[in-house]
Amino acid sequence: MKVILLEELKGRGGEGDVVDVATGYAVNYLFPKKIAIQATKGNLKQLELRKHNIAKREEARLDTADKLLAALEGQRIRIGAKVGEEGQLFGSVTPQQVANALNAKFGLDIDRKRVDLQEVIKRAGEHAASVNIYRDTKANIVIEVVDEKKLAELEKPEVEAVTDETASDEAVADEVAADEAVADEVVEADAVLDAADAEGAEPAELADDAEAAAVEALGDTEPVEDAIEAIVDEPAAADAVEPEAIAEDTAAESTEEGEPEELS
């Protein structure tokens, strides 16, 4: 019986193709599933009118198939199974397991019917397989079957990579915290100097007190020494008086007091 395909039929063709199939297959499967319709004169005429739109849709499908082929070709997937002596499996790997592994790894929605196992997989190790993407487009993949008890260990490096990245972030956070601690100690040293200055302490004593506080908190004076020296120099600079200013002040005082009386 001649039928017009409404969608892809594996090994037969795609939308718009006219193919011969067994009558029972068409009546019991293709027609109820709306995969095809009978190729009557009326349907063939309608097909001619729809060919342009069908061609556009076909172009889009082929483009999608090419992109999927580029993503899957040569990829490896790992499947865990119960392994006995000499690598013999308890059972075999099924197309459904392969489809599930592909979908989980690449975020796809591949039907198990598109997975073509080139052999019955009953042993651990590497096995070749293919995925029928669309029409004649197929992606070759490698299936690695391992003992399910070792599967977690094999995937552990990926977990460790995430852990290393987290540790790196924590190290950066610790470095930032250390910088903030240095800044806090500089502020604290400034406060010590201000308090001691109010009590009339000498600049040298202020420096010693501030430096001692920084050493006690940080164990290293280098981050704060420059800041302390700058702070200590400020009161000293403020107390320094130019010689000319001193001379002028002395002259003014002498004028106000007047000349001393002569002794009789």
Give the end-to-end CA distance of the chain in Å, rounded to a whole number. 155
Looking at residue 101, which CATH number applies to its domain?
A: 3.10.430.100
- Burial of 122 from C-beta contacts in 10 A (0-12 / 13-18 / 19+): middle
Domain encompassing residue 202: 172-243
Last residue of a domain, one of 108, 126, 153: 153
Whether residue 258 lies inside any domain: the answer is no
pTM over cut 0.85: no
How is residue 137 written in tokens?
């487009």
Q: What domain count does the chain have?
A: 3
196-201 long-range contacts, Cβ below 8 Å, gap at least 24? 197/235
Q: CB 43: neighbour CB atoms within 10 A?
A: 14
Whether residue 234 lies inside any domain: the answer is yes
Tens-digit pLDDT profile for the chain (264 aa)?
A: 999 999 999 889 999 999 999 999 999 999 999 999 999 999 999 999 999 999 999 999 999 999 999 999 999 999 988 888 888 898 899 999 999 999 999 999 999 999 999 899 999 999 999 999 998 899 999 999 998 887 777 766 554 444 455 555 565 556 655 655 655 555 455 555 555 554 554 544 544 555 555 455 445 545 545 554 555 455 444 444 454 544 455 444 444 444 444 443
Measure Cα distances from 98 to 44, 87, 167 in Å: 40, 19, 35
Measure Cα distances from 261 to 214, 252, 258, 264 in Å: 60, 19, 9, 9
